[in-house]
Amino acid sequence: MKCPLSFRHCTGMLLVVIMLMTMSGRAVASRYAKVSKAWIEHNVTLAGHRGMMVHFNLTVGGMKRRQVNVEGEVTLDSDVAGKDPEVVSRYHSTFIPTNDVETHRDYTLFVNYNLTDWPTGDHHYHLNLLVSDASSGEDLNEPGSTILDFNVMHSADGSCLSYDEAVEDIKRKLGYPSSATSSSATAAPPTPSRKVPAASVSPSLSSALSPSSSQEMTADQKRFLAQVKDRTIKLLDAGDGNYIVIATSDYAHAKNKVTSIFWVPRDFTPYPSTCKGMKETEEKGYTTIYDGIDVTKLVNHTLDGREASTVYVREGYLLANGKVWDYNDKALKGQQGYFRMEEHRISSQAAAWLQLLIEGKLTTMSFQGSPCIEMETTDRLTLKAPRYIRYISEKEWWNGGSVEEY
C-alpha cells in the first residue's frame, strides 16, 4: 500500500514529531522545585488551633498553569519507632504558578497538634518537605533534601508542646528555664535546612561546623554572658563553640528592642579591648565603654544553589599596634584609633535568626530605630582576612568623609 503523502511530506511530519517529543522531554526535565531557608516556628495559634508553622522559601520552575503539591511528612524518629520510621501525619497545600519560574518567599505549612497522632511522652521527630506535580505525582525536589527535626512533648491530658532540642541544650548550660517545661513556652529559633557548600568552596567556608552543644562553654564566655545577662534578648548558637547575643540596652524603649548584636568567641585572646572591658566591669560594677565585639553584617554566600553564611565582627578602641586605646592615658591623646574587622563562618540556625530579625519578621523582637546590622548576598568563595580600619575624625566626618569599607 502506497503512502498517500510524498516522501518529503512524510519525512517532514516525522521531523515534527521528533521535535515535539524532544521539546516535551525538555519541558519535563526543566520542571523543578527548590526549597531554602526552612525553619519551624513552635507553639503558634492559627484560627484557634495550636501547632507549628513551617516556614521556607520555595522556587518552582516549569510548572506554569500546573498544580503543585507541597507536603510536610512528619515521621517519628527511628530510635523510638524501630527500624522503619513511622509516619505520624502528612500536611499539604497546593497552588498553581502563573509564571514559568515562580518564587514564594516565606511559604508556610501549618502542623496542627490536634490532628496529629503523637505518641505520649517527649519524642524526636523529622519533617520532610516534599514538592511534586499534583497531576503526575512527579517529584520536583529531591526527596529527603529538606528535613527539619524537632521534639514534641505530648502529655497524657492531650496537650502538646514542641521545641528545638539543640536550643534547649544551650538554655540548660546557661541555667535558663526549659521551654519544654515552661507553662508559657517561647518560640524556638529557626531550624533551617541550609546546605553547606561542597569541596569547591575554600576550606574556611566548606569545613563542617561542630555544634556548640558538644563543647563546654569557656570561662570567658560565661563571664561575658553573665555581664550582659540583663540585656540579653536571645542567645544564638553560631557553631564551633561560638555564640551570638542579640541584646537591648537601658535606653531602649522596650526590653525586646534590639540595640546591639555581640560576637561571643570561644577564644577571647585576640580581642584585648573586650577583655579589658570585662575586667573593668568586674572591678567597677558597671559596663564600660569597651562593650563587646559587635556583629555588623550578615553575609549569605550562594554557590550553585547551596548556601553558607558568615558575619562581619568588629572590635574597637585599638591602636595601630593592636593594643587597647585608653582614654585615661594622656600619652595616647591624639594618636590614631582603629577598629579590627574579621569575618567568621556561622551556623545556618544563627543565620536564619539574624535574617528574620533584619527583615522584620520576628514578633518577639525588633530593632530600636535603624538596624545595627546589615545583610548582603555574595558568590565570594573565601573568607576576608582580618583588617585594621582607622576611625575618621569629627572634622573628616563633617567634611563628608566616610569610614573605609571592610
Cell (9 digits) for 377: 548576598
pLDDT for 312 = 96
pLDDT for 93 = 93
- Within 114-158, strands assigned E span 121-133, 147-154
- What is the residue extent of each domain of the chain? 31-190, 194-406
pLDDT for 207 = 47
Greatest CA separation found in the chain?
Answer: 110
pLDDT for 246 = 94
pLDDT for 215 = 64
Residues 6+ apart with CB under 8 A from 219: none
How far is residue 228's CA from residue 290's CA, in Å, rounded to a whole number? 13
How far is residue 369's CA from residue 252's CA, in Å, rounded to a whole number? 9
HSE, CB side, 13 Å, CA atoms: give it for residue 93: 9
Per-residue pLDDT of the chain (406 residues; tens, 9 = 90+): 444 545 445 555 555 555 555 444 444 448 999 998 888 888 888 888 889 999 999 999 999 999 999 999 998 875 554 456 678 889 989 999 999 999 998 899 999 998 888 888 888 888 889 999 999 999 999 877 788 888 888 888 888 888 776 544 544 444 444 444 432 233 333 333 333 333 233 334 544 444 444 567 899 999 999 898 889 998 888 888 899 999 998 888 888 899 999 999 999 999 998 998 898 888 877 665 567 899 999 998 876 655 788 999 999 878 877 778 776 777 767 678 888 999 999 988 888 889 889 988 777 789 988 889 999 998 887 889 999 888 766 666 667 766 678 8
CATH number 2.60.40.10 is the correct assignment for the domain at 31-190: yes
Q: Are 307 and 195 in contact (CB under 8 A)?
A: yes
What is the chain's Cα-based Rg?
Answer: 27
Alpha-carbon 122 to chain mean position = 25
| Packing angle of the helix pair 219-227, 272-284 (nearest 10 deg) | 60
pLDDT for 212 = 44
pLDDT for 304 = 60
pLDDT for 104 = 92
Going by C-alpha positions, the residue among 375, 373, 280, 274 that lies closest to residue 315 is 274
Through-space distance between the first and last CA atoms of the chain, rounded to whole angstroms:
80
pLDDT for 364 = 78
Instruction: Taking the CA atoms of 80, 85, 88 and 92 in sequence, report the sign of the dihedral they define.
Output: positive
How far is residue 282's CA from residue 299's CA, in Å, rounded to a whole number? 34
